[in-house]
Structure 1
Amino acid sequence: MSSGSIVVFGSLNMDIVSVVSRLPRRGETVPGSEFYTTPGGKGANQAVACARLGASVQMVGRVGGDNFGRELINSLESDSIGISGIDVVNTGKTGVAMISVDDSGENTIVAVYGANMSFSSDIESRLETALADASVLLLQNEIPIHANVVASRIASALGITVIWDPAPSVDGVSELSGLSTYLTPNQIEAEALSGIEINDIDSAMKACDIILTRYDSIPVITLGEKGVVYASREKRKHVPAMDISVIDTVAAGDAFTGALAVAIAEGLKVDESIRFAVGYGALAVGKKGAQASMGSRKELDDFLKNQAAPET
């Protein structure tokens, strides 16, 4: 892998999607207008985002020995993502995510992680091989926390930047403390990490300060239409969202985190990296699907040219 390369250690799921006019209430059945399957999983989504933005990417993860697993591997290969770090568990089942998307683009997700949760003692050697020439490691919470801890320690010892997307919220997050360079929670995850309710930009900034102190990582909190807030030891800042018609919010966070990784790997400053990522996340919500919504570098460059110049 070349300089600026990215390793994604995380989940590979097949998304099973239903499109509905509105999300059902508890105990309610609603008719759907469309059904489809598409490659997903937070890890794989972020890997695809990185690859389509021009990065050299290696995926490390697990799938079952079934049709879904084969489809997911083939899909990654089609985006020129390295797959030598993917282990096929012949007796296991590939992870799946059952997603409902409504007319406004909002969604609910139930995930059954399958092989993603069955990492064994060979994790360390596979990660060391993948990380040998990497500059950024991307992590999420759809694999066991202890596996992420092992990965972070290896990466930190090698001087590699670690971006940890703490999604979904899980027990054991205290083990993250001091092990990542950046944390990229959404509003709900930031509330869980900080212990406070976020209802505006000011409270989001307070959550940033708490997370920075508690986890010794730079928090970058995504707030949907309210944009992004982040805090380092030197500064705190709010970056507004970019205008676009929302079609589907599935994987918008993955698009954001993948783009952030690419920008950091390319050596952009934090402010520039976050604007780059905000733009890519905006592009993703303007399209349907998870990996299908991940645009090209040219699309992002053209989109950013048409946005207002960032505040200095």
Structure 2
Amino acid sequence: MPRPTLLSLGSINADFQVRVDQPPGSQETLLAHDFCRLAGGKASNTAWLGATFGHRSLLLGRVGDDELAEQALGSLREAGVDITGVTQAKGEPTAVSMIMVPPDGKKHIVLATNANDCWDDSATAAMVRQIERTESPACLVVNCEVPAAVVLQAAKAARGKDIPVVLDPSFPDRVPDELLPCLYAVTPNTSEAQALTGREIQNLQDAAWAARQLRDRGVRIACVKLGDGGCVLDAGEGALHVPPGEVRPIDSTGAGDAFTGVFAIALLEGREPHEAAAWGVAAANLAVTAYGSKPAYPDRQQVCSMAAHLLHDARWLDER
């Protein structure tokens, strides 16, 4: 059996991160400390997880022709991610994410999309060829921090190869209706689920309703990530609530990416949706316990251990 492949399409950023002792907006100028430069972006984080969990991991995206491209790609190359699917946007800067982390750990991000949004026909065609050359078992994880037309072409190419597609719907206003039937799974947070369904998510029942609505629109598996770190899953058997673990949050940067990446990895490995959801919750919970995104990400053993406890406490919200 060939080695499973995780394909990751979307944002690739150079992250500039600091800690602040006051919440952003509390005063005109904030003093900061613990400055670090990291490789970031949703697709970057997913690809890194794919490699560290032992799979062939192929990153698809765009960087600029500037010095920040190496910051965005260097650690991925070292982790064993295949970056041959990353193309260069001539005359454009690499995407930059500026992150402030206050004492409560709830990060504030300003993103300059830059090269992430600069796709030409040649780059799009090269991306499609990479997907079409990929053999099963494989899974494509996409996000909408690149143009919607690029995401749609990728999803259609993957569907033509019977490769399941998992969508992290950031930004939700870039998710076209025709994309949803191409998806195997979708993992919105509550604000994204609200934007996609038009209904505010205030409790578990609202999250279950949103997941069901997304399935009614063609998605096989819908998993709504909750603000407390848990999730509500609907894979066709009713709504399952997977509660959060007990962790002390230090920095929420990249936690949602950890959820989607590890959720997709679990599906790629043939695990059942409820187990994949518990893996995602475990990964996201563990990711907030240290500073940074990739430096804080857990390994397989840590995820498996916490996920087993979470599944024990999971509860159905309605009749199966």
Q: TM tier, shorter chain?
A: over 0.9
| In 2: Cα distance, 1:192 partner to 1:307 partner | 28
Correspondence 1:149-298 to 2 at 5 A: 149-225=152-228, 227-298=230-301
Letter matched to residue 210 of structure 1: Q
Change (3 A) 1:42 1:298: same
The Cα shift of 1:230 comes to: 1.6
Distance 1:195 1:217, change over 3 A: farther
Distance (whole Å) between structure 2 residues aligned to residue 219 and residue 144 of structure 1: 22
Q: Distance in 2 between matches of 1:221 and 1:29?
A: 36
CA contact (8 A) 2:104 2:250 kept: yes
Counterpart amino acid of residue 148 in structure 2: I
Q: Compute the displacement of 1:207 (Å).
A: 1.4
2:29 aligned counterpart, secondary structure? coil
The residue type equivalent to 1:297 in the other structure is: R
1:204-247 alpha-carbon deviations (Å, 9 max, x no partner): 11111222223534211100315100213332211111111111
**Identity of matched residues, %:** 29
- Secondary structure class of the residue paired with 2:276: helix
> 1:88 corresponds to which residue?
88
Q: Give 1:303 deviation, angstroms.
A: 4.0
Given that 1:100 and 1:109 are in contact with CA atoms closer than 8 Å, whether structure 2 keeps it comes out as yes
1:75-105 deviation digits (Å, cap 9, x = unpaired):
1111100011111224221000111111111
Deviates more, 1:101-110 or 1:223-232: 223-232
The answer for the alignment partner of 1:124 in structure 2 is 125
Inter-partner Cα distance in structure 2 for 1:65 and 1:2: 35
In structure 1, what is the equivalent of residue 41 of structure 2? 41
Give RMSD over aligned pairs. Answer: 2.0
- 27-36 or 252-261: which moved more? 27-36
| More displaced 10-residue stretch of structure 1: 50-59 or 97-106 | 50-59
| Alpha-carbon separation, structure 1, partners of 2:175 and 2:47 | 25
Q: Distance in 1 between matches of 2:24 and 2:216?
A: 39
Partner of 1:52: 52
Amino acid at match of 1:100: M
Instruction: After TM superposition, list the pairs within 5 Å mapping 1:134-153 onto structure 2.
Output: 134=136, 135-153=138-156
Does the 8 Å CA contact 1:255/1:294 hold for their aligned counterparts?
yes
Instruction: Report Cα offsets for 1:142-198 as digits up to 9, x if no partner.
Output: 100100000000001111110010013334532423121111100110110110011
> Cα distance, 1:116 vs. partner?
0.9
The secondary structure found in structure 1 opposite 2:271 is coil
SS at match of 1:309: helix
Question: CA contact under 8 A between 1:85 and 1:126: conserved in structure 2?
Answer: yes
Question: What is the aligned partner in structure 2 of residue 133 from structure 1?
Answer: 135
CA shift in 2, pair 1:172/1:137, >3 Å: closer
TM-score between both structures, scaled by the size of structure 1:
0.93
Structure 2 counterpart of 1:114: 114
Aligned residue pair count:
312
TM-score, length-normalised on structure 2? 0.91
Residue 69 of structure 1 is matched in structure 2 by: 69
5+ residue gaps, structure 2, are 316-320
CA shift for structure 1 position 6: 0.8
* 2-structure distance, mates of 1:268, 1:169: 27
Shift of 1:310: 4.6
- Measured in 1, the distance between the counterparts of 2:251 and 2:294 equals 12
> Is 1:309 paired with 2:312?
yes
Shifted more, 18-27 versus 216-225: the winner is 18-27
